[in-house]
Structures are given as C-alpha cells and as structure tokens.
A and B are shown apart, each in its own frame.
Chain A
Amino acid sequence: MDLIIPTISQGLLWSLLAIGVYITFRVLDIADLTVEGSFPLGAAVAASCMLGGMNPVLSIFVAAFAGMLAGIVTGFLCTKLKIPALLAGILTMIALYSVNLHVMGKANLSLLNVETVFTMFGIPDVTLSNMVLVIGAAVVVFTGVLCYWFFGTEIGASIRATGCNPHMIRANGINTDITVILGLLISNALVAVSGALVAQANGFADVGMGVGTIVIGLASVIIGEVLFGTRSFKNCLISVILGSIVYRAVIAIVLQMGMPPNDLKLFTAILVAAALSMPLCQAKLKKRKVAQDA
C-alpha cells in the first residue's frame, strides 16, 4: 500500500521521457536512441549545476537546453549528413557517455545534501514523497498542455505531417530537414528534463542511468496506446503519460511478487518485444480463424 504514491510519482517523472519517445517514435516515425544519452545528460547537467550552487528550477532549464543540443546533433547527422536515423542516434548516445563523464567529473554525483525542486519549498507536514507526487503532476500537466498547444500550431502540424508523409509536406513548401531537427530537439529536451527530475527525486545522477531508457519509453508508449487509445493527439498524450504510470505499477508488482531486480531490463525488453509483435500475431490469428471458418 505504501508503494502506491512513489510508484505514481516515478511514473509521472518518467512520463516526460515517454512523451519524448512518443514524439520521435510515433510523431516523427524515427526510433531515436539519443534518449539513452540525453536522459543521463539531463541528470548530469542538473546535478552539476545544483552542486555548483544553482537554483534547482533553473538547473532543469539548463538540462533542457543541453537536451536540445543533443537532439540538434542527432538531427544534423541524419538530415544534413544523411546518416540513417537509428545510427545517428547511436552515435550521439555513445558520444554523450563521454560528455556526461566530463560534465560530472566522475561517474556518480550525490544530491542528498543539496536543495532540490522537491525540498526547496519546505512546506511543513508534507512528506517528501507527497511533494514529489504534487510537483511531478504539476510539471507533467504543464508539459502536456504545452505539447498539445505546440503540435496544434502551424509549425507543430508541419512536424506531425513530416513523420506521416514527408513527400506531402515538402510538396507544400516545408523543409523536412528543419522539422525533423525540431522534433528531435523537443523530444530530447523533454527527455533531459525527465532525467533531471529523476536525479533530483532519487538523490543522485549516474553515468549509467540511461541504459534501457529507450525501452522504458517504448514500453510506456505502447502500454498507454493499447490501454487508453490513440483517437487524437490529445488522447495519445494522455495515454502515454498514463502508460508510463502503468509501466511503473507493473514493475512494482512483479518486484513485489519476488522477481529479482537484476531481471528487470530483461522483463521490460520481453514486454516491449511482445507488444510490438502484437499486430502481426493478431493478423495471423485472424487469418487462421478465417481459414477455419471457410
């Protein structure tokens, strides 16, 4: 019972990552592995800034800016230099590993003794875990509304159309190089903010904390889409956020049931592989059923 609030809180903080992955994977139709590097980048930048005395809120904006730069690099590689998007993401991700070590100066930074966005208000009678829930929810609602607005504007619609049909949007006068870079920039900014918030909530930033983030993001996106629908862009955004929370709940449940934590990534990978293969399996089953009926 006492796990419910931390589970929802973690789901909220990680849902920004899920929105970021949704923007690349679904909106732009690119599997962007940069997130594996931009998530710890956000954590590293925020942690270093805070240890240097910066306001924790401001440090999140600096983290977002760093994430944008990571997205621009991947975007530049795959549009201007024509490197396949998957490889471009991998290159940036690997490069960021070194960058993150430089930013932090070592592999791990503790934030236990500095003020974070979750402790800075210091309201009495409110526990830290409740504070994480409230602030997490506020940030997610704000980001969700911002994304909904942006992707409804002329520029946002151009980005959505780019992922759907680049020929069409070019024939209507939009430079698809720019829209792809813009999409990657926004996505990685959100991922970096997610990393910064997770680091502040968990009390540390670690160079290895990005491993498997793309799979966690995909799991959240797919779970959300299956359970909560994809009717409209607004619906998708809400689905992805809820998907992230459900994913955390599933993880909490299987851990409670006694699964060794070491098997967590294996479990997540199998979950995502199963979910991604579902359309094919459904089609095959349908075919078989039609054949039997005939």
Chain B
Amino acid sequence: MLKIENIKKTFNPGTITEKVALRGVSLHLKPGDFVTVIGGNGAGKSTLMNAIAGTFKVDTGKIVIDGKDITKLPEHKRAKYIGRVFQDPMMGTAANMQIEENLAIASRRGQFPTLRWSAPEAQRTYFREQLKPLNLGLEDRLESKVGLLSGGQRQALTLLMATMVEPKLLLLDEHTAALDPKTAAQVLELTNNIVNSRKLTTLMITHNMRDALACGNRLIMLHEGKILIDVSGEEKKSLTIKDLLAMFEKAAGSELNSDALLLS
C-alpha cells in the first residue's frame, strides 16, 4: 500500500543550522499493516510523517501510495490518499467552526469544493451516527463550535474526520502525547477500534514504548534518520521493553538516550 524508497532530507543545507533528518529510509507497508514508530528525540519520526504527508519535498527517493507516485505532489493533493491526526489537538480541526461544519469538510476530503451548501441537513443523521461510537455526547452538539471541546474530544473528532473518507494511509503523529493519561488511553482505544475494525493501513508515531508494543502488527524504531529496528508478526507479539532496549543497544552500539522513551 505504501512504498517508500530511500528517501533523504536535509534541512537548511549549507548553513550553520544544517540538520540531516532522514538518511535514506525505505519502508514497505502491506494493505492493513498497522505500524508503530518509535525513536528518540531528533530520530526523524515526525520528519518521516511530514515527508509522507507532503509538508515538504524530500531531497531524493520515492514515495508511492497504492501504486501512485506522490513524491512530487503538493500536500493538499496527497490529502486524497492520506488521513492525518496531529500531535497538537488544535491542528486537526477548525476551532471557530461548528462540529458539523468540520465534519462536512472532512466528508469531502480529496474532492474539489463546489458551490453546493456546505453542511446540508441531509448529512446530519450520518454525522450523528458517526459521532455516537465516540461516546462523547458530540452527536447532540453538532452546532457547537469545535473550540469549546477539550483536547481529547478534539483528537477523537480529528480521528473520525481523518477516517471518514477511507484513507489509503492513516498517519498518526504522536496524537495522544498532548493528552492527560486517562484521555490518552481512551483516544488510543478508539484508534485501535477504528484501525483494526476497518483494517486501515496505518503509521503511528508514539513516544510510549508500551503502546508501541501493544498496538499494531509491526514496529519500527528510527535512529539518527534511519530505520534501526523493524519487527513484525509473532516476533513483535512476544517482544518486551527490555528486549527492545537490548536490540537498540546492539544495533546502535550505544544506550538509548531518550528519557521520554525510557520513562514512559
């Protein structure tokens, strides 16, 4: 479903702030793969996500989704294939607009907007049905502005919006990191439900090793802009945090230096 071939990205080349973020990453995802991505600070996790989403163009390499080469497509054109949930709960929704207006925009992801009425009455029943499984009571608040919702509610809504039109690829960029532990667990459970029930091809960054091991059928660890560890299937199922740290030390030749990863 997703084929990444040897992508490289250097920010601010030739300047004092030069930063090599991706040093040749290749990754193939089969349809229905749910891959968790971990790595220390500056390992290139978010850069990899943004490269796929098209926030910037990669220096070399190729990105193919479902047989379509999207390497040169701008961000808004890739949206047709990709659903995204951001780390910042504010980024996935338009705060000044109503819940139904946000949902209406998401229900047309990848389509050209027309002069038809944006949030017609006819869609309301459908929106309510979609909101009900979230168990947040949002189905009764269609006309509320999204800015009134909590961070967790907004992330749940963004998740619904990202998957409303079935994406070929779902990108989750540490989407529970900014939430309190209880809300984070709820949003993660919702994520598992949606991804597993609809068999969505998914790439999920997390800073939490336990989540990375518990979710999905494959795990990759990035280190200094390269994929260091790639485990899947039965091997991943039996993996513990201790195993993972040992694997990292062996592969990288040093101890893992991310406090955030170790503490969680």
With a CB–CB cut-off of 8 A, which chain B residues contact A153?
Answer: 113-118
Instruction: For chain A, residues 170 to 189, give those with C-beta under 8 angstroms from any C-beta of chain B.
Output: 170-176
Instruction: For chain A, residues 85 to 129, give those with C-beta under 8 angstroms from any C-beta of chain B.
Output: none
The reply to whether B93 and A170 form a contact with Cβ atoms under 8 Å apart is no
The reply to whether B105 and A176 form a contact with Cβ atoms under 8 Å apart is no
A interface, by DSSP: helix, strand, loop or mixed? Answer: helix
With a CB–CB cut-off of 8 A, which chain B residues contact A145?
Answer: none
Give Cα distance in the complex from A153 to B111, angstroms.
Answer: 14
The reply to whether B108 and A170 form a contact with Cβ atoms under 8 Å apart is no
Closest to A171 in B: B84
Of B53, B82, B92, most A-chain CB atoms within 10 Å: B92
The reply to whether B105 and A169 form a contact with Cβ atoms under 8 Å apart is yes
- Least Cβ–Cβ distance between A79 and chain B, in angstroms: 12
Q: Is B91 an interface residue (CB 8 A)?
A: yes
Q: Is B106 an interface residue (CB 8 A)?
A: yes
Give the contact stretch, choosing among B59-67, B71-79, B221-229, B238-246: B71-79
With a CB–CB cut-off of 8 A, which chain B residues contact A74?
Answer: none
Closest to A230 in B: B96
Given A170-B76, A173-B111; A165-B91 close (CB under 8 Å): yes
Q: Is B97 an interface residue (CB 8 A)?
A: yes
Given A161-B97, A161-B105, A173-B109; A168-B92 close (CB under 8 Å): yes
Q: How large is the interface on A (under 10, 10 to 19, 20 to 34, 35 or more residues)?
A: 20 to 34
The reply to whether A157 and B105 form a contact with Cβ atoms under 8 Å apart is yes
Instruction: For chain B, residues 83 to 98, give those with C-beta under 8 angstroms from any C-beta of chain A.
Output: 84, 86, 90-97
With a CB–CB cut-off of 8 A, which chain A residues contact B80?
Answer: 173
- Least Cβ–Cβ distance between A68 and chain B, in angstroms: 17
Given A152-B117, A155-B114, A173-B109; A168-B79 close (CB under 8 Å): no
Given A153-B114, A153-B115; A172-B79 close (CB under 8 Å): yes
With a CB–CB cut-off of 8 A, which chain B residues contact A155?
Answer: 113-115
Q: Is B104 an interface residue (CB 8 A)?
A: yes
Q: Is B110 an interface residue (CB 8 A)?
A: yes
The reply to whether B86 and A167 form a contact with Cβ atoms under 8 Å apart is yes
Q: Is B174 an interface residue (CB 8 A)?
A: no
Residue interface mask B138-169, A partner, CB < 8 A = 1? 00000000000000000000000110000000
With a CB–CB cut-off of 8 A, which chain A residues contact B77?
Answer: 173
Q: Is A158 an interface residue (CB 8 A)?
A: yes
- Least Cβ–Cβ distance between A24 and chain B, in angstroms: 15
Given A169-B94, A174-B76, A176-B76; A157-B106 close (CB under 8 Å): no
Q: Is A160 an interface residue (CB 8 A)?
A: yes
The reply to whether A154 and B75 form a contact with Cβ atoms under 8 Å apart is no
Give Cα distance in the complex from A170 to B73, angstroms.
Answer: 13
Residue interface mask A172-212, B partner, CB < 8 A = 1? 11111000000000000000000000000000000000000
With a CB–CB cut-off of 8 A, which chain A residues contact B188?
Answer: none
- Least Cβ–Cβ distance between A230 and chain B, in angstroms: 10
The reply to whether B97 and A164 form a contact with Cβ atoms under 8 Å apart is yes
Q: Is B178 an interface residue (CB 8 A)?
A: no
The reply to whether A173 and B94 form a contact with Cβ atoms under 8 Å apart is no
With a CB–CB cut-off of 8 A, which chain A residues contact B115?
Answer: 150, 153-155
Q: Is A156 an interface residue (CB 8 A)?
A: yes
Closest to A153 in B: B115
Of A156, A165, A175, most B-chain CB atoms within 10 Å: A165
Give Cα distance in the complex from A133 to B102, angstroms.
Answer: 39
Q: Is B119 an interface residue (CB 8 A)?
A: yes
Give Cα distance in the complex from A155 to B113, angstroms.
Answer: 5
With a CB–CB cut-off of 8 A, which chain A residues contact B53?
Answer: 171
- Least Cβ–Cβ distance between A221 and chain B, in angstroms: 15
23 A-B residue pairs with Cβ-Cβ distance under 8 Å, sorted by A, are A152-B118, A152-B119, A153-B117, A154-B104, A154-B108, A154-B117, A156-B118, A157-B97, A157-B113, A158-B105, A161-B101, A165-B91, A168-B91, A168-B105, A170-B79, A171-B53, A171-B75, A172-B106, A172-B161, A173-B76, A173-B111, A175-B74, A176-B76
Query: Can you add 14 more A-B contacts, CB < 8 Å, to A155-B115, A167-B86, A171-B82?
Result: A152-B119, A153-B114, A153-B115, A154-B117, A155-B113, A157-B101, A157-B118, A164-B97, A168-B102, A169-B105, A171-B84, A173-B77, A173-B79, A173-B111
Q: Report which B residues bind A (CB closer than 8 A).
A: 53, 74-77, 79-80, 82, 84, 86, 90-97, 101-102, 104-106, 108-111, 113-119, 161-162
Instruction: List 9 tightest A-B contacts by C-beta distance, closest first.
Output: A173-B79, A154-B113, A157-B118, A164-B94, A173-B110, A161-B94, A155-B113, A165-B94, A164-B96
Q: Report which A residues bind B (CB closer than 8 A).
A: 150, 152-158, 160-161, 164-165, 167-176
